[in-house]
Amino acid sequence: MEHTTDDERLTHDFDPTVPETFTSAHEEYKRLRAECPVAHSRAYNGFWALFRYEDVVNVLKDYQTFTTSVQNTVPKFAFTGRRPPLHFDPPEHSAYRRVINRFFTDEKMAALAPKVRRDAAELMQALVDKGEGDFSLEYANRFPPYVFAEFFNVPKSLSVNIKEISAAYVKAIQEMDDETVKSLSLKLYDIARTIIAERKANPMSPDDDLTAALLEATYEGRPLPEDMVLGCVRQLLVTGMVAPSVILGSIFVHLATHKDIQRELRENPSLIPAATEEYLRLLTPYRGMARTPKRDVVIGGRLIKKDEPIALVYTSANRDEAIFPDGDRFILNRPNIHRHIAFGEGPHKCPGAPLARMMLTVSLEEGLARTKDISLAGEVKMTKWAEWGVLSAPMTFVPADRR
């Protein structure tokens, strides 16, 4: 039997850097699921990518074999320090997750909900009153910082600044501009230090403030290390900014091009939570989350060697026809919708899922209640890998009849 060289093994099966339309990536992923579900790309210094649901979920659950501590994204961009809990495996990550999870309970979400709705209504009404605008720039990019400010107990001006830095940071990652990535990451660290210093100078109850809770928390009888608390706050600064903006743009582009869904959800607002769940599956924004094998593994008949990064393409897995029949279609109340992995799976499943669901549901409710028609008015511009979704979406809005 002939030995396969690395040159032969590390093929170039797809190019994640090609410009995309609203549908092109999904067309490519459908082909890859059928023809090359375990693929290799030479982009971004070389990486593997899994496109089928079962393969992605198996890796997410097997943290003993596939670590998040080496490279948790493709391309790699964690150059400025380890940031728990995302960069840690269990059990080390659990001390941080326990604290974070306390802030996403039903009770906490219920207390936050009126503020989230107030901000959504204000931003949405301003756009509807104009009659036209770029939904992504004027709503989807502005709403998450407003919510973040309420959740994190920081001024809106600071939150908007974090969003601006985060957007430039993601752009630099996509362009593999490592020096800019590092400098912007250090700016975010400085902001995290400022937030921590403010909490120390003006303490808040650890029941009411996540930063205060991290400062008070212990692991094995000792306070969490200061540099790791800093890393955790720094991680949280960006996590809640990018994905909500991207998927909100995608949802409203889909609505604008599917008038039947607009009409159905306007007439039956009680269906909107179910629509949110289907949109999370259909328009999943994550495709660059990654793991690194601690030993050589074989997936789908292909040898992946120790330390070779693997991208877990949630965006593809959530349309896998083996799990979600007719996966490219929006179907309300899918019988197995709970199986989608828009928020990941396993020990690193996103703790912020309840807040993300609320943001999407409220945006749909406010957007549909305030309009009787939403239409596209220009070219939709898409993000680049590692996110999938909409960056720019010119739209027109016909206001709802005043009662």
Q: What pLDDT, on a 0 to 100 scale, did the predictor assign at position 24?
A: 98
Q: What pLDDT, on a 0 to 100 scale, did the predictor assign at position 260?
A: 97
Report whether 358 contacts 143 (CB < 8 A): no
Q: How many domains does the chain have?
A: 1
Element (H, E) at 148: helix 143-152
Q: Is residue 2 part of a domain?
A: no
What is the dihedral sign for C-alpha 358, 144, 51, 296? negative
Report pLDDT digits (tens) over 187-221. Answer: 999 999 999 999 999 999 999 999 999 999 998 88
Closest CA to 143 of 317, 401, 360, 403: 360
Q: What's the pTM?
A: 0.95
Torsion angle in degrees (nearest 10) through CA of 93, 97, 99, 100: 140
Cβ density class 279-316: b for 16+ within 10 Å, e for less: bbbbbbbbbbbbbbbbeebebeebebeeebbbbbbbbb
Q: What is the secondary structure of 86-121 as a DSSP string?
A: TT--TTTTHHHHHHHHGGGSHHHHHHHHHHHHHHHH
Q: Is residue 5 part of a domain?
A: no
Q: For residues 128 and 138, what is the distance between their CA atoms, to the nearest angstrom?
A: 11
Q: For residues 262 and 66, what is the distance between their CA atoms, to the nearest angstrom?
A: 42
Q: Is residue 1 part of a domain?
A: no
Q: For residues 80 and 372, what is the distance between their CA atoms, to the nearest angstrom?
A: 48
Report whether 182 contacts 79 (CB < 8 A): yes
Q: Is residue 329 part of a domain?
A: yes
Q: What pLDDT, on a 0 to 100 scale, did the predictor assign at position 171?
A: 82
Cα–Cα–Cα angle for 130, 134, 140, nearest 5°?
Answer: 105
Q: Is residue 393 part of a domain?
A: yes
Report whether 254 contacts 26 (CB < 8 A): no
Structural domain boundaries enclosing 91 = 11-398
Q: For residues 348 and 100, what is the distance between their CA atoms, to the nearest angstrom?
A: 12
Q: What pLDDT, on a 0 to 100 scale, did the predictor assign at position 2?
A: 52
Element (H, E) at 360: helix 353-369
Q: Is residue 3 part of a domain?
A: no
Q: What pLDDT, on a 0 to 100 scale, did the predictor assign at position 173?
A: 80
Q: What pLDDT, on a 0 to 100 scale, did the predictor assign at position 238?
A: 80
Q: What pLDDT, on a 0 to 100 scale, did the predictor assign at position 3?
A: 64
pLDDT < 70 stretches in the chain: 1-3, 78-82, 402-403
Q: For residues 151 and 100, what is the distance between their CA atoms, to the nearest angstrom?
A: 12
Closest CA to 72 of 312, 343, 387: 312
Q: What pLDDT, on a 0 to 100 scale, did the predictor assign at position 87?
A: 75
Q: Is residue 26 part of a domain?
A: yes
Alpha-carbon distances of 183 from 133, 172, 194, 231, rounded to whole Å: 33, 10, 17, 15
Q: For residues 10 and 308, what is the distance between their CA atoms, to the nearest angstrom?
A: 10
Report pLDDT digits (tens) over 222-233. Answer: 999 999 899 899
Domain of residue 319, CATH code = 1.10.630.10
Q: Is residue 339 part of a domain?
A: yes
